[in-house]
Amino acid sequence: MIANWTFWALLSAVFAALTAIFGKVGVAGVGSDFATFIRTVVILGAIALILSLTNGWQSFGSVSTRSWVFLVLSGLATGASWLCYYRALQIGDAARVAPIDKMSVVLVALFGVAFLGERLSAVNWAGVGLIALGAILVALR
């Protein structure tokens, strides 16, 4: 099961749900940008601990220039996403913010096809459409 991608994807969904609930409570009375900073420091410490425990550290020179560029871009996108997410949680209901945030699933499908040459079947596209429709319906008042 640990080698199965669906196990890790489902676990990611559970932790993402907890992120919304814990974040909504945690951002009360705290600036959303500062809350994002605290979250980032915790993540940095946790990942450093995991790398230490699993002997997963690598030399920075072992990472190609291309990987560096895209990992830095990914980090910047993650930071921007988190800042926007915490701001949205501070203003809106977690049950309405999270589904709109998950519109990223729809965008990943579109970007994957447009930029990575991935292919989706008609059934896959129907699922993408249902995700988009579901997110919109959940977010409505």
Q: 3-class secondary structure for the chain?
A: CCCCHHHHHHHHHHHHHHHHHHHHHHCCCCCHHHHHHHHHHHHHHHHHHHHHHCCCCCCHHHCCHHHHHHHHHHHHHHHHHHHHHHHHHHHCCHHHHHHHHCCHHHHHHHHHHHHHCCCCCHHHHHHHHHHHHHHHHHHCC
Q: Per residue of the chain (141 residues), give pLDDT as tens.
A: 788 899 999 999 999 999 999 999 999 999 999 999 999 999 999 999 999 999 999 999 999 999 999 999 999 999 999 999 999 999 999 999 999 999 999 999 999 999 999 999 999 999 999 999 999 999 888
pLDDT score at 2: 84
pTM: 0.85
